[in-house]
Structure 1
Amino acid sequence: MHTSFIKIIHFSRLVKINERLREFNYKKNNTAGDYVFDVDTADDRGNRIFFRLSKNDNEWTLNSTHAIPDWIGQHLQQLVTELEEGILSN
């Protein structure tokens, strides 16, 4: 009998955006590809915002089925930097 395990990578990072500290939760999506992370955070009213960061040809892209607030898109590079630091520390 052969058993295999897939390591789950999940971590949270605090990021200061527009003078406000926000928590971003990153989770590696093992079924979608090697460099695909599902991310969630809260807006000013406490509503959850879900989106996906994926890496293709050494470039991270943001994908979502819902409208993403401008403050997330404007700070994409900062979110990617936090993602890469979180990968290295896990």
Structure 2
Amino acid sequence: MHTSFNKIVHFTRLIKINGRLREFNYRKNNNAGSYVFDVDTADDRGNRLFFRLLKEDNEWQLTAKMAMPEWVTDNRELLITELEEGVLSN
């Protein structure tokens, strides 16, 4: 009998955006591909925002089913940098 385990990679990063410290939760989605991370955070009202960062052809892309506020899309590179640092530390 052969059993296979996939390590669950998840971590939280605190990132200062527009003078405000925000919490971003990253979780690797093993079912969607090798470089796919689901991310969630809260907006100013406490509503959860969900989006995905995926790497295709050595380029990170931010995708979401809902419209993302500008403070998320404008800081995409910062979110990717924190993602890569979090992966290295886990």
TM-score by length of 1: 0.99
Residue 41 of structure 1 aligns with which residue?
41
> Does the alignment pair 1:70 with 2:80?
no
Q: How many residues align?
A: 90
- Please give the residue correspondences for 1:2-81 in structure 2 after superposition, counting only pairs within 5 Å: 2-81=2-81
CA deviation profile, 1:34-86 (whole Å, cap 9, x unmatched): 00000000000000000000001111000011110011000000000000000
RMSD: 0.4
Aligned-residue sequence identity (percent) comes to 70
CA drift of 1:29 comes to 0.3
Rounded to whole Å, the distance in 2 between the matches of 1:43 and 1:18 is 13
Following TM superposition, the consecutive aligned residue runs of length 4 or more in structure 1 with deviations greater than 6 angstroms are: none
Rounded to whole Å, the distance in 1 between the matches of 2:45 and 2:65 is 20
